[in-house]
Amino acid sequence: MKFGLTSIFLTFVLSSCVVSKKKFDDMLAQKVKTDADLQEKSDKLASLEDSFSKLEENYKKSIQDTARLSADLSLNKKKLAELDANYQQLNNSYKNLLANSGKLNRDLNQQQQQLLTIQQNLEKTRRENDSLSTSLAEREKKVTELEKVLANKDKAVQDLRTKITNALLNFKENDLTVKVKNGKVYVSLAEQLLFGSGSIDVDNKGVGALQQLAKALKDQKDIQVMIEGHTDNVPISRKSQYMQDNWDLSVMRATSIARILINGGVAPQQIIAAGKGEFSPLLANDNSVNKQKNRRTEIIITPNLDQLFKILENN
């Protein structure tokens, strides 16, 4: 819906036509609905990030529980060995007493009772040991499964970063950067690569870079692509009915980029277009160099965490 609304807006601005109130109201309603959809998707992404943080906490707790169970198992093994030694000692004493059955019958009965008690304790300890061994094995299996999934996720993120970097090798480092942070791939594109000052139309050079990026992403069906537009703190020079400030500018730039990625083969369901205006700068907007760095678009690629959530639910 945002793509259609933006296209209508551009058509009206470029042609300087006056629309009817009904059409304007329809367009405004569509924009409100689109903003609500964007907020819902942003909330879902925040929920996914929160769930991922909880998963990492549970993973750390599982490691601690495994270490504790290992210590308990070692202690019980030691107790088992001590009980075995005591049992053998008492058993030998019992045999000696049997050989001298005419002596110390009361001591023999006492030794028999002690031997029975030790046997019961020994059996109880063995059962506890078996239970701890089973529990430890199950936890080690879950930890191994979590470690494997996390390793696969990290490898997939690194492989995707390499694929994206290779796809964008022809572009200057000052124009774009690709890095991995918090399990996500961040592609940061400078304004000079994509847009003219105050424009929401992507330049030809920027279109080429986004088309290369789309080729690297279109076969990745288990990712989500967040497009964030960013500006400096200089107010826009030309306001219109649909563009009042830098926030509007950043959102419309994000939708322009989303449209190019979709035309390049990335599924629309995988894309979220958002704008942060001037409110998430890299540097203080106190000189021209910093302002230029703040005018950027960040494309954040997040892997699908469904498999991790499934393991967490099973735990």
- Mean pLDDT is lowest, of 21-25, 62-66, 133-137, for 133-137
Tokens 């703040």 sit at which residue?
294
Q: Where is pLDDT greater, at 259 or 114? A: 259
Q: Could you tell me if 165 and 178 are in contact, meaning their C-beta atoms sit under 8 angstroms apart?
A: yes
Is the pLDDT confidence value at 18 over 70?
Answer: no
* Contact status, residue 3 vs residue 255, Cβ threshold 8 Å: yes
User: What is the pLDDT confidence band of residue 62, given thresholds at 50, 70 and 90?
Assistant: confident
pLDDT tens for each residue of 100-119: 766 667 777 888 888 888 88
Which H or E element spans position 239?
none
Reported as a single tens digit per residue, the pLDDT across 212-226 is 999 999 998 889 999
Label residue 3 by pLDDT band (50, 70, 90).
very low
pLDDT at 315: 58
Query: Residue 241: which H helix or E strand, with range?
Result: none
pLDDT at position 309, please?
Answer: 53
pLDDT band at 308 (very low <50, low <70, confident <90, very high): low
99 or 53, higher pLDDT: 53
Question: How many whole angstroms separate alpha carbon 97 and alpha carbon 92?
Answer: 9
Q: Work out the pLDDT band at 289, boundaries 50, 70, 90.
A: very high
Predicted TM-score (pTM) of this structure: 0.55
Give the burial string for 9-22 (b: 16+ CB within 10 Å, else e).
Answer: beebeeeeeeeeee
Q: What is the average per-residue pLDDT within 245-250?
A: 95
| C-alpha span between 96 and 93 (Å, rounded) | 5
Among 66-75, 88-97, 221-230, 269-278, the minimum mean pLDDT is found in 88-97
- Paired tokens of 247: 């926030």
Could you give the percent of the chain with pLDDT greater than 70? 89
The residue extents of the domains of the chain are 61-155, 168-314
| Helix runs in the chain, H state only | 2-15, 21-99, 105-167, 191-194, 204-217, 246-263, 288-294, 306-314
Give the model's pLDDT for residue 5: 47
The answer to whether the CB of 272 falls within 8 A of the CB of 227 is yes
State the Cα–Cα distance between residues 304 and 100, nearest whole angstrom: 76
Measured at the CA of 302, the angle between CA 301 and CA 305, to 5 degrees, comes to 160
Determine the Cα–Cα distance for residues 158 and 185; give it in Å rounded to an integer: 8
Give tens-digit pLDDT for 126-174.
Answer: 888 877 777 777 777 777 777 777 777 788 788 888 988 888 887 787 8
Res 90: pLDDT: 83
Which has the closest alpha carbon to 183: 205, 144, 155?
Answer: 155
What is the pLDDT of the chain when averaged over all its residues? Answer: 84
CATH of domain 168-314: 3.30.1330.60
Query: What phi and psi values does residue 281 have, to the nearest 5 degrees?
Result: -75, 150
Angle between helices 306-314 and 21-99 (to 10 degrees): 40
Q: What is the pLDDT of residue 314?
A: 59
